[in-house]
Amino acid sequence: AELPPGLSRRLGVSHVTPDPAVHELDSWLLAGEIIRPDAGRLFRSRPGKRRWQNPLAEEDGQPGVVFRWLEVEGPIYDEWPPAGHQLMFGDLPMANREIPKVSDDDDDNSERRNRRRRNRFKPAPGVEVISTNPIPDAERLLRDFIAKAYRRPVADPDVELFIPVVRAAMDKGNNFTDSMIAAYTAVLCSPEFIYLNEKPGRLDDFALASRLSFFLWNSPPDEELRRAAERRELRKPPVLRAQADRLLDDPKSHRFVKAFLDYWLELRHIVSTAPDELLYSDYYLDDLLTESALAETRAFFAELLRADLPARNIVDSDFAMLNERLSDHYDLPPVQGVAVRRTKLPPDSVRGGIMTQASILKVTANGTTTSPVLRGNWINERILGRQIPPPPPNLPAVEPDIRGAVTIRQQLEKHRTLESCNTCHVIMDPPGFALENFDVMGGWRERYRSESGGEPAEGIAKSGQRFAFHYALPVDAAGELPDGREFDDIREFKQLLLADERQIARNLAQQLTIYATGAPVRFSDRSQIEKILDRSAAEDYGVRTLIHELIQSELFLTK
């Protein structure tokens, strides 16, 4: 979808084949958006020095795609009136509201202007809800609306607070429909709606329903959760577990996957930087690669959740979630099509797990260079659960040399001669060194790219034109952990981390706790985290099991 002056948003994707086919897509469109088909898999053609000659074109020309027709149907409703209208106005009758038109045959321009001036202050055309008893109807409708907005039973004072809004709006000449909308707007601006109103101590059933629903659906409780809360059954462990499974199995749980990964893995920053146009023209403007990388990480975590796979898969796994673009990017056996699906990895693959996925490696790079410090700090905090203190004030940052004269490792060795720096860098740098074989977009490299110096090289840009860069010094991915254990590359580094699977699970449990409760894990909470791990150990710290044990814990049930 495209919103002028050029904001774009992906609605969906289909795999186009040589044979004609019909592809269907369900999506929400924003006001003012238009639909723009884009053959993202094909290279872009732009004129170069030799006009329209493209290295990727075949003898019979450039690949292309034909869109024969596009049909839009909507809005699509499962019921009429829609649920939102029923919530606001129940079964009250409706009537169409129209503005009187000014006749074009009226030659009196002054009279036409006067009519338009009078009509300017009349309601806009649309649907008007008719009420013969406005205030009693307003009380009844507000009671139902507030109950869902506040996510708890409603008392008379809750309703009485907003009746004056309806009266005031009607006294000013507004009809019943617009007066009710004014009151509903006031409800949605109140703290009771905007915030989760949890009282300290054990959560009641309604607060628990909200916490569970916002955790796993990122939305207010549905009717089934509200009924369980009304019956005071939600706190019963079997009922709570069944409801959690129901929410996790529902398609709406993709909201949890997206929001949790945006927080935990910082995937919300994936488009904050772009690959350098000169050094990495093969990635520049490759929207399909970026979108596929994001889809890979979300699908990977969703698979861990669906199959209750052990938390150690976060560090290393024997499968990846790939499509055609990613398999090519990772230099793996080809996968056909644009759909991301579970794919078994070769035995000695450097892929597998989260750390070597393109989305993570892009988020932890700046588009031009990679930094072991940034990536190492990210792994310590996001995967291992270790908090690194900030650097001393007024200390200059270590900037990689884009000329390729010295490696970032050589610069860090000089930097670490300062005792105040070495204390933290001895922890941060080794995980970052392990990832040095991966460039700014997660592609494998044996040598760094540079703007000058080193061996000249060529590549093919997304535009289809050739670009030049230089191969600089070779990559050294070896390192030593603070406890003295050494590794030569990412494969050995992963194995060292897997020696302590409980720590991987502990960090995941803590990240889930922070996301679910909105509160940090304090020192006094550590015993509860350990109980969650103890109860999950028999299932090899399965990701779904960890979520269930968290939901049953005092950390989740208590404010």
Range of lowest pLDDT (272-286, 350-364, 536-550):
272-286
The C-alpha atoms of residue 352 and residue 316 are separated, in whole angstroms, by 5
pLDDT tens-digit series, residues 4-26 = 888 888 888 888 888 999 999 89
- Structure tokens, 436: 């040095």
Share above pLDDT 90 across residues of the chain, in percent, rounded to a whole number? 65
Q: pLDDT at residue 420 above 90?
A: no
For 44, which DSSP code?
P
For residue 52, pLDDT over 80 is answered with: no
pLDDT, greater one: 103 or 62: 62
Q: Which of 41-50, 99-108, 355-364, 468-477 has the highest mean pLDDT?
A: 355-364
Distance CA 229, CA 336 (A): 47
pLDDT surpassing 90 at residue 57: no
48: pLDDT confidence band, cut at 50, 70 and 90?
A: low
As beta bridge partners, residue 451 has none
149 has a pLDDT exceeding 90: yes
Q: Which residues contact 268 (CB under 8 A, 6 or more apart)?
A: 262
What distance in Å separates the CA atoms of residue 460 and residue 280, rounded to the nearest whole number?
10
Q: Return the pLDDT at 537.
A: 97
User: Of 261-265, 447-451, 543-547, 550-554, which range is least confident?
Assistant: 447-451
Read off the pLDDT of each residue in 101-112 and give the average, rounded to a whole number.
58
205 phi, psi to nearest 5 deg: -65, -35
Residues found in the chain: 559
Q: How far apart are CA 48 and CA 503, in angstroms?
A: 53
Most confident of 91-100, 214-223, 451-460: 214-223
pLDDT at position 451: 86
Q: Examine the pLDDT at 322 and tell me if it is beyond 90.
A: yes
Tokens 């795999």: give the residue: 15
Between strands 466-474 and 447-450, the pairing is antiparallel
Q: What is the pLDDT of residue 158?
A: 95
Higher pLDDT, 526 or 417: 526
Confidence at 403, pLDDT banded by 50, 70, 90: low
pLDDT at residue 117 is higher than 60:
no
390 has a pLDDT exceeding 90: no
| pTM, 2 dp | 0.87
Q: What is the pLDDT, as a whole number, of residue 121?
A: 47
Q: Which residue has better confidence, 503 or 82?
A: 503
Q: Is 469 helix (H, G, I), strand (E, B) or coil?
A: strand
What is the pLDDT at residue 461?
A: 84
Continuous segment of H or E residues that includes residue 449: strand 447-450
pLDDT value at residue 389: 77
The highest-confidence range among 11-15, 150-154, 399-403, by mean pLDDT, is 150-154
- φ/ψ (deg, to 5) at 486: -110, 155
At residue 456, φ and ψ (nearest 5 deg) are -60, 145
Rounding to the nearest 10 degrees, give the CA dihedral for residues 212, 217, 222, 226: 0
Question: 325 with 288: CB under 8 angstroms?
Answer: yes
Q: What is the rounded distance in angstroms from the CA atom of residue 491 to the CA atom of residue 468?
A: 31
> Residue 22 has which token pair?
């019909």
